[in-house]
Amino acid sequence: MELTVLVLLISFVVLLFINVPISICIGVATLLTMLFTIDGGPAVTTIAQRMAGGIESFSLLAIPFFILSGMLMGQGGIARRLINFAKVLIGMLPGGLAYVNVVACALFGAISGSAVAATSAIGGFMIPIMNKEGYDKGFNAAVTVASSTSGMLIPPSNILIVYSLASGGVSIAALFIAGYVPGILIALSLMAVCGIWAKIKGYPVGERTSFKDSVKIAFDAIPSLFLIFLIIGGIVGGYFTATEASAIAVLYSFALSVLIYREVKIIQVPDILVKSAVTTAIVMFLIGTSTAMSWILSYENIPQSISDAMMALSDNPIIILLTINLILLAVGIFMDMTPAVLIFTPIFLPVVTALGMSPLHFGIMMVLNLCIGLCTPPVGSVLFVGASIAKISIAKLIKPLLPMYAAMFLVLLLVTFIPALSEFLPKAFGLY
């Protein structure tokens, strides 16, 4: 087993160090490990079978639909309407544009299911406006980058679907509902940081919108916001499953972007379909290779060995949970969320369930933890998108992000040690 682990780790780290895409790193490292374990032809056959089996799940059908829905929303004028709506709600406060940024990113991230899409869409509007109003460029980008991650917890969320698969079948509906409170807490904690920062820097007070304009803006945003209620209400009410909800989200997004707002032309639809297909292929390949790596780890009994080692480390649940969180934070710095969930869920889930933590609670904790990795160097995809939009270096972005990291970590600790934050709503709706 020691040789297997050594081959896996060395090959993966070397490939990652020379900037090979993460999915290729995982696939090649897994194949090399299988060659040492299974030998020759059977290794190639086995990895192909495991990759194919990894994506052969009805639940995963929701992912391409939510990706397509998010892309339609991203080009359908949704971002501008959500920004205007957020301005009506909180834009009049000191440093109001920072609050607007947080709320708009959280709403758009929830609607699109993508932190990168939220950073691109909201950041493309908000960062130039905040720059013009005298806000610090690094702070503007940092707010966008950090707040975009909250949408990964507020449903619909593709990563929660992946966790459902990795955990052996935790209800997707329960996971969706469970993400609301932690996602909102992340947004509120970031707004608190923005408030303190705005007071220190003396950022301007936003303009108050007239009642007439406020009503008009709110009505204009309602169709966009209704998607969240449509999807979650339908799932909770038992009208359709999460997979069926993803198809409904596509139909609704298409009608909203093409027929109602008319900001997506029919001639643009084929291009959107192609882009969503490419993104889906990347995600599915990542899921396939990650599933194969997870299998070889299980084949070598590595999860059980790690579980036994962690339980022997301490009999204090607080110490073990803090250790798991620190490991996941380190993993999130170097690895994308999807492979991290698929690889480390089988490793840590037996440990936390032995401590009395429910799989639902652990899933929310894990996803929240890995969300922090989306905005940390050197791999954080959201971080690089935000820096690119703001046209600043990563170094200038990190300093204003530090208090936001601290706020997100504080919420992570609350979610870790207060199960009700994750479990109250699913239990209230009878989903768990």
Are 234 and 338 within one domain?
yes
Provide the pLDDT for residue 83.
78
**Nearest-CA neighbor of 417 among 316, 300, 337, 339?**
316
Report residue 399: phi and psi, to 5°: -55, -50
Query: To which residue do tokens 């994506």 refer?
Result: 55
Q: What is the DSSP letter of 54?
A: H
Provide the pLDDT for residue 40.
52
Q: What is the DSSP letter of 261?
A: S
Are 23 and 165 within one domain?
no
Residues 158-183 have pLDDT tens digits of: 889 889 988 887 888 899 899 999 99
Are 67 and 105 within one domain?
yes
Let me know: does 160 contact 363? Beta carbons within 8 Å.
yes
Residue 159 amino acid letter: I
Q: Does the structure show a pLDDT above 80 at 4? A: no
Q: Please count the other Cβ atoms lying within 10 Å of the Cβ belonging to residue 212.
A: 8
Provide the pLDDT for residue 241.
82
Q: Does the structure show a pLDDT above 90 at 422? A: yes
Provide the pLDDT for residue 152.
84
Percentage of the chain exceeding pLDDT 90: 19
- Mean pLDDT in residue range 278-289: 87
419 alpha-carbon distance from chain centroid: 20
Q: Does the structure show a pLDDT above 90 at 218? A: no
Confidence of residue 87 (pLDDT cuts 50, 70, 90): confident
Query: What 3-state DSSP class applies to 198?
Result: helix
231 alpha-carbon distance from chain centroid: 18
Are 218 and 283 within one domain?
yes
Distance CA 125, CA 306 (A): 46
Query: What 3-state DSSP class applies to 113?
Result: coil
Are 84 and 154 within one domain?
yes
- Mean pLDDT in residue range 69-85: 79
Provide the pLDDT for residue 406.
94
Residue 301 φ/ψ region, left for φ over 0, alpha for ψ in the -120 to 50 degree band, beta for the rest: left
Q: How many domains, the chain?
A: 2
Are 212 and 138 within one domain?
yes
Provide the pLDDT for residue 362.
96
- For the ranges 202-206, 291-295, 408-412, the maximum mean pLDDT occurs at 408-412
Q: Which residues contact 27 (CB under 8 A, 6 or more apart)?
A: 47, 51, 289, 292
- Mean pLDDT in residue range 130-156: 85
Provide the pLDDT for residue 22.
81
Q: How far is CA 42 from CA 288, 293, 395, in A?
A: 18, 16, 47
Are 304 and 187 within one domain?
yes
**Nearest-CA neighbor of 340 among 161, 163, 116, 88?**
163
- For the ranges 105-114, 173-182, 238-247, the maximum mean pLDDT occurs at 173-182
Q: Does the structure show a pLDDT above 90 at 60? A: no
Q: How far is CA 24 from CA 15, 30, 288, in A?
A: 8, 10, 11
- Mean pLDDT in residue range 104-130: 79
Distance CA 25, CA 13 (A): 8
Residues 297-317 have pLDDT tens digits of: 887 777 777 777 777 777 788
- Which range of residues forms the domain containing residue 17? 1-54
Q: Does the structure show a pLDDT above 60 at 1? A: no
Let me know: does 283 contact 158? Beta carbons within 8 Å.
yes
- Mean pLDDT in residue range 110-117: 74
Distance CA 169, CA 171 (A): 6
Provide the pLDDT for residue 50.
85
Are 136 and 210 within one domain?
yes
**Nearest-CA neighbor of 264 among 82, 70, 62?**
70
Percentage of the chain exceeding pLDDT 70: 97
Q: How far is CA 258 from CA 31, 208, 217, 273, in A?
A: 45, 32, 20, 14
Are 260 and 207 within one domain?
yes
Residue after which a domain boundary falls, among 54, 72, 88:
54
Q: Does the structure show a pLDDT above 80 at 95? A: no
Residues 383-418 have pLDDT tens digits of: 888 888 888 888 888 888 999 999 999 999 999 999
Provide the pLDDT for residue 39.
57
- Mean pLDDT in residue range 291-295: 86
Let me know: does 67 contact 280? Beta carbons within 8 Å.
yes
Reply yes or no: is the peptide bond before residue 378 cis, omega within 30 of 0: yes
Are 285 and 220 within one domain?
yes
Let me know: does 352 contact 321? Beta carbons within 8 Å.
yes
* b (16+ CB within 10 A) / e for 112-130: bbbbbbbbbbbbebbbeeb
Confidence of residue 271 (pLDDT cuts 50, 70, 90): very high
- By mean pLDDT, which of 101-110, 183-192, 359-368 is the weakest? 101-110
Residue after which a domain boundary falls, among 54, 73, 96:
54
Report residue 110: phi and psi, to 5°: -65, -40
Confidence of residue 188 (pLDDT cuts 50, 70, 90): very high
Q: What is the mean pLDDT of the chain?
A: 84
Report residue 94: phi and psi, to 5°: -60, 130
Distance CA 151, CA 157 (A): 8
Confidence of residue 2 (pLDDT cuts 50, 70, 90): low
Provide the pLDDT for residue 91.
65
Residue after which a domain boundary falls, among 54, 73, 94:
54
Are 288 and 367 within one domain?
yes
Provide the pLDDT for residue 42.
75
Confidence of residue 267 (pLDDT cuts 50, 70, 90): very high
Distance CA 31, CA 38 (A): 10
Q: Please count the other Cβ atoms lying within 10 Å of the Cβ belonging to residue 415.
A: 24
Distance CA 258, CA 7 (A): 51
Are 4 and 72 within one domain?
no
- By mean pLDDT, which of 206-215, 230-239, 283-292, 365-374 is the weakest? 206-215
- For the ranges 38-52, 222-236, 341-355, the maximum mean pLDDT occurs at 341-355
Residues 363-383 have pLDDT tens digits of: 999 999 998 988 887 777 788
